[in-house]
């Protein structure tokens, strides 16, 4: 990092963050306070070697994507995040654009709800934070490039998720889900007209998906999110039927997506098993 944020400050930010607040189970024998280097690397989707080089001042030109991931992983304030961007010779995210900043309180809340899969999405429906149970259920998002973690791309056939043929009631739910997310994107465009990344996303989907273009042309009003039931087809435990809820984070323009099952149900048992085993492979979400 450059002189305005010396490497020792990056280490100090790591030392002050509790591993528990970051979502890790703390066991005995920890000799140093705060987050381990390996834990920061895992949270930010970076190699341990790269984090070490950053802290030693040997990696001097991190990308905006890396800086944003570090800021979220370290639970920095907006001022600290902006300082980190400037130290890397980058302009901080501008006001009036879709924010990828996840407040520390939201991260702590989601981490402490680790018996529930929680994913945090931006206003354009890009996944920017998730807890370990989310990874166990859906597969590790860290292995997917950031641009491909967008739910709209997945819904309209351009994301990494396996596509599933839908018919009957499933097709009807798929249509409503797509309608809701197109309405969200149209609302985001009205609130962030200067956001180039959002503009590129909408242009891409209008050009590659007839379904998206149709919804974009015909959607006239916002469609509220409601509790929905989704079947997760997991390669380890089979089908899991879960309630899916979308919670809006006031003041941050984020969406927290949660999956739950009734206590004592077979689906809750499958979720418990995934939480213990960590899950393997990538699940398919049936609409």
What digits encode the pLDDT tens for the residues 152-187?
998 997 555 432 333 334 444 567 788 888 999 999
| Domain 104-286 = CATH 3.30.450.180 | yes
In the block, which residue shows the tokens 């499958």? 270
Residues of the chain within CATH 3.30.450.180 domain(s) are 104-286
Asked if 37 contacts 51 with a C-beta cutoff of 8 angstroms, the reply is yes
CA distance 198 to 190: 11
Instruction: Quick: pLDDT tens for 37-90.
Output: 999 998 888 899 999 988 888 887 888 889 988 998 999 988 898 888 888 888
Residues 6+ apart with CB under 8 A from 187: 222
Is this prediction's pTM over 0.85?
no
Q: What is the CATH number of domain 7-87?
A: 1.10.260.40
CA 106 to mean position of chain CA atoms: 12
For residue 162, the 8-state DSSP code is: P
Q: What number of helices (H) and strands (E) belong to the chain?
A: 12, 6
Instruction: Quick: pLDDT tens for 218-263.
Output: 877 766 777 888 899 998 899 999 999 999 888 889 999 999 999 9
pLDDT of 170 reads 43
Residues of the chain within CATH 1.10.260.40 domain(s) are 7-87
pLDDT higher than 60, residue 4: no
Residue 18 region by backbone torsions, left for phi larger than 0, else alpha for psi between -120 and 50, else beta: beta
Instruction: Quick: pLDDT tens for 88-102.
Output: 888 888 778 898 889
CA distance 51 to 49: 5
Q: Taking residues 276-284, what's their average pLDDT?
A: 72
Q: Taking residues 191-219, what's their average pLDDT?
A: 92
pLDDT higher than 60, residue 2: no
Assign 213 to helix, strand or coil. helix
Question: Smallest Cα–Cα separation from 198: which of 209, 208, 187?
Answer: 187
């Amino acid at each position: 990092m450059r002189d305005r944020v010396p490497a020792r400050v990056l280490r100090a930010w790591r030392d002050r963050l509790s591993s528990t607040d970051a979502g890790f189970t703390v066991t005995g024998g920890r000799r140093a306070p705060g987050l381990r280097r390996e834990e920061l690397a895992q949270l930010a989707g970076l190699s341990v070697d790269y984090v070490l080089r950053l802290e030693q001042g040997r990696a001097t030109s991190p990308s905006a994507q890396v800086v944003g991931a570090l800021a979220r992983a370290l639970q920095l304030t907006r001022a600290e995040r902006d300082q980190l961007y400037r130290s890397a010779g980058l302009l901080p995210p501008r006001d009036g654009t879709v924010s990828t900043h996840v407040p520390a309180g939201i991260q702590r809340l989601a981490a402490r709800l680790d018996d529930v899969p929680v994913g945090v999405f931006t206003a354009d429906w890009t996944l920017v934070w998730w807890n370990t149970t989310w990874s166990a259920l859906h597969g590790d998002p860290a292995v997917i490039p950031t641009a491909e973690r967008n739910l709209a791309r997945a819904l309209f056939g351009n994301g990494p998720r396996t596509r599933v043929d839908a018919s009957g009631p499933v097709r009807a739910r798929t249509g409503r889900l797509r309608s809701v997310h197109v309405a969200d994107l149209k609302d985001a465009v009205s609130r962030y007209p200067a956001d180039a990344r959002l503009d590129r996303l909408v242009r891409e989907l209008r050009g590659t998906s007839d379904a998206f273009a149709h919804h974009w042309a015909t959607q006239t009003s916002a469609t509220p999110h409601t509790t929905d039931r989704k079947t997760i087809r997991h390669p380890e435990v089979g089908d899991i039927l879960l309630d899916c809820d979308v919670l809006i984070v006031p003041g941050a323009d984020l969406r927290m997506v949660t999956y739950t099952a009734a206590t004592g149900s077979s689906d809750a048992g499958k979720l418990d098993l995934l939480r213990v085993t960590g899950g393997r492979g990538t699940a398919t979400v049936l609409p």
